[in-house]
A and B are shown apart, each in its own frame.
Chain A
Amino acid sequence: MRKTWLLGILMLLGLGFAQAQQANLKACFIYVGPIGDVGWTFAHDEARRAAEKAIPGLTTQYVESVKPADTMATIDRLVSGGCNVIFTTSFDFMDQTLEAAKKYPEVIFAHASGFKRAPNMLTYMADFYQIYYLNGLMAGALTKSGKVGYVAAFPIPELKRHISAFALGVRAVNPRATVNVKWINAWFDPVKAREAAEALMAEGNDILAFTEDTATVIQTAARRKVPSFSHYNSMYKYAPDYVVSGQLVDWSVIYIDILKKVQNGTYTSKNLQNVDYWWLAREKAVMLGAQVGMPINPKFEAALKRATMTVNGKRVSVYDRVMELYKDIQSASPKWDPFTGPIRDRNGVLRVPAGRKMTVKELNEMQWVAPGVVGQVADEPK
């Protein structure tokens, strides 16, 4: 009898403890842009809300439009407000996040798109490079002028990787086509994005893709009846006749995975040194599409089925090739990767030897760009 009492009390205590731990899980998010940017930050915030719904006992808080220089001050404020998991969602937040991880050893930090880790700081990324190749195939099939335009944010490895994968795709269909890049040196600047897109179209580019956090490029392209590719979110609604496809992200699978593992004790503030999420289509962190559930805009299906390309000596339709590769990268063990050698950079230097795939580390530190990319590219190795 006494034993059952004791057990009961212990169970109650245990339950209480578990509940307290759950109630204590407060995840805080630091965003670089406004949550309404329709792009990067919007996608993170959608995922934050999804995680809050999916995980009982989780509370969240966010701070938007944080300047990189204010990272530490923002973290100080969040920690004193009771945050025990902090997500910093911009590459520029990396160094200060690492500093904060040292300053607050009990708090768990997670940094998106970076490469520096600590016992209490993990890194995570949902990456588009495979999806970009598929979009490149479509752009290569649809361009009439052989000039594909790209409005780019910053010349950092992430963008070089994406632009290069895109260019490899374009050239797999149309070996003489070029991807013409204009840098705007901003993540969020619709005014610059618009003028860069206008300049690209004035130079004869008849398809546009981009990395900027608004739908500006899509709207600008549609105004001149130029097809474009959606970036980050469903942008189909902005130009239903002109958005061909695009790259979509779902950060919630990553956030929910991390937070559940924190909650059940798998992740602690001592064992994150080697935790790096590099989630792709296989993990459902990224998708191909003009919007969720629409990998390719039906309006472009016929044209993509008509267009053909050579794969291993055989002519196949670009549409079939896109679908085949997309199916492969979604499978449990993908066989294909766009950065499989031999690959030379645009200066002719062999970067990936035949038969080898680029590693995640190499992809993260990539400074060269693929053949077909035209325009000035900062920090490019000679």
Chain B
Amino acid sequence: MLNALARALSFGTPLLLACLGAILNERAGVVNLGVEGMMALGALAGFAVAFGSGVGDGNLWLAVLAALGAGTLAAFLHAFVTITLQANQFVSGLALTMLGLGSAGLLGKRFEGQPLFNQPPEWPFTLGAIGLAVLLGLVFYATKLGLSLRSVGENPAAADLLGINVSAVRYGAVAVGGALAGLAGAYLSLVYRPSWTDGMTAGLGWIAVALVIFVGWSPLRAIFGAVFFGLLYYLQFRLQGQSPIPSEVFASLPYLLVILVLALSGLRGQQGNAPEALGRPYRRGER
């Protein structure tokens, strides 16, 4: 049991980080489907720096910093296209995923198959992610910054009237969201599986995006969501061959649950807490 919890936390860490980033984006009213791509870029940037900065795996912190930077940079692209140019957020996000996966694969060719010899422990990242979730919860509900952020996501026109710079807040949220996705990627390539291979994010970014809806845009619930997903993920292998239920059932459980939650929230007519202005570009003076 303890082992299952440990695995759930370990697997849940990148999900939690990426999910927190996406929650931050969406709370400010910007959907970013580029999580998977930003994760891939973060994973590559982190690995490249760790591998390149010295024999026997250079500086871990520098590597993490590079991953944060790569995620932020990629997110800025999305911010520019959707906030400044007011393009469709969904299309831009999908493009970012493709761009991220593609360019990470291309740039990563020379690192393929190179292992990191120093394998950092997982728990500092896990604790850090949980701490971040709590911090984000505090920011959302106990600070003026959080209020501004949420109002930009709920009603940008009203926020604008109150003197909040909608574009600036959204830019900031998207950038930090990108940094968190980059960090999630770095966790994969530096800690969870210390090496780089093309496609190593293996759809985790998409699970994180789905997780946002599952946890109802709440950073604190994201902790439990990520651990819950991690547990289901681990159990599909742990219970395989140990129970008469075919493993495919366990494998599909997380996705079935997401659909169930979406359906239920749809029935309740709440759209599951989604910020009002989610996915819509803000143009001053338009309704």
Give the B-binding residues of A (Cβ under 8 A): 33-38, 42, 65, 180-185, 188-192, 194-196, 198-200, 202-203, 214-216, 219-220, 223, 233, 237-238, 374-376
Whether B202 contacts A189 by the Cβ 8 Å rule is yes
CB <8 Å contact, A182 and B202: no
Cβ contact within 8 Å between A34 and B115: no
Stretch at the interface among B67-75, B190-198, B211-219: B190-198
25 A–B contacts from the bound complex (CB under 8 Å): A34-B199, A35-B112, A42-B112, A42-B113, A65-B199, A181-B241, A182-B241, A183-B240, A184-B237, A185-B251, A188-B199, A189-B202, A190-B193, A190-B197, A192-B237, A198-B237, A200-B237, A202-B7, A203-B238, A214-B193, A214-B197, A216-B193, A219-B193, A238-B115, A376-B247
Chain B residues with CB below 8 A from A185, complex form: 248, 251
Interface size class of B (residues with CB under 8 A): 20 to 34
Closest to B241 in A: A375
A42-B113, A183-B247 known; A34+B198 contact, CB < 8 A: yes
Residues of the B chain whose Cβ atoms lie less than 8 Å from the Cβ of A195: 7, 11, 233-234, 237
A192's partner among B119, B198, B202 (CB-CB below 8 A) is: B202
B202: which of A183, A190, A220, A238 is its contact (CB, 8 Å)? A190
Neighbouring B residues of A219 by C-beta, 8 Å: 115, 119, 193-195
Give the CA-CA distance A206 to B264 in the complex, in Å: 44
Q: 9 closest Cβ contacts across the A-B interface? A: A36-B112, A34-B198, A375-B241, A199-B237, A199-B238, A196-B237, A38-B113, A238-B115, A191-B202
Q: How far is the CA of A42 from the CA of B246 in the complex (A)?
A: 32
- Contact check, B195 vs A238: say whether CB atoms are below 8 A apart: yes
B31 at interface (Cβ–Cβ under 8 A)?
no
Which among A36, A200, A238 has the highest number of chain B CB atoms within 10 Å? A36
Minimum CB distance partner of A181 in chain B: B241
B197 contacts A36, C-beta separation under 8 Å: yes
Starting from the known contacts A34-B105, A214-B200, 11 additional A-B residue pairs (CB-CB under 8 Å) come to: A34-B197, A36-B108, A36-B112, A65-B199, A198-B7, A202-B238, A203-B238, A219-B115, A219-B195, A220-B193, A375-B241
Residues B241 and A37 in contact, CB atoms below 8 Å apart: no
Contact B200 A190 (CB under 8 A): yes
B270 at the interface (CB under 8 A from A): no
A92 nearest CB across to chain B (Å): 17
Mask for B102-125, Cβ within 8 A of A = 1, else 0?
000100110011010001000000
For the complex, give the distance between the alpha carbons of A4 and B197 in Å: 61
Centre residue among B3, B237, B247 by max chain A CB count within 10 A: B237
- Kindly state whether residue B204 has any CB partner on chain A within 8 Å: yes
Contact of A237 with B240 in the complex, beta carbons under 8 Å: no
A375/B240 in contact, CB under 8 A: yes
Give the residue of A194, A220, A237 whose beta carbon is less than 8 angstroms from that of B115: A237
| Total CB contacts across the A-B interface at under 8 A | 99
A42 CB contacts on chain B under 8 angstroms: 112-113
CB A373 to nearest CB in B, in angstroms, measures: 10
- Which chain B residue shows the least CB distance to A184? B237
Bound CA–CA A215/B195 (angstroms): 9
The CA-CA distance from A33 to B198 in the complex, in Å, is 9
Known contacts: A189-B202, A191-B202. The answer to whether A37 contacts B197 by CB under 8 A is: yes
Least CB distance from B199 to A in Å reads 5
A376 and B240 alpha carbons, distance in the complex (Å): 7
Q: Chain B's nearest CB lies how many Å from the CB of A372? A: 14
**Are B7's CB and A182's CB within 8 A?**
no
Question: How far in angstroms is the closest Cβ of chain B from A109?
Answer: 26
Bound together, the chains give a CA A195 to CA B247 distance in angstroms of 14
A208 to B26, CA, bound (A): 43
> With A34-B105, A38-B113 as given contacts, are A202 and B3 in contact (CB-CB < 8 Å)?
yes
> Residue on B with the closest CB to A223?
B119
Closest chain-A Cβ to B215's Cβ sits at a distance in Å of: 20
A374 partner, pick from B108, B113, B241, beta carbons under 8 A:
B241
Q: Tell me whether A191 and B204 are in contact (CB under 8 A).
A: yes
Contact partners of B199 in chain A: CB under 8 A: 33-34, 37, 65, 188
Contacts A182-B240, A376-B240 known; A38 to B197 CB distance under 8 Å?
yes
List residues of chain A with CB within 8 A of the CB of B238. Answer: 199, 202-203
B241 touching A376, Cβ below 8 Å? yes
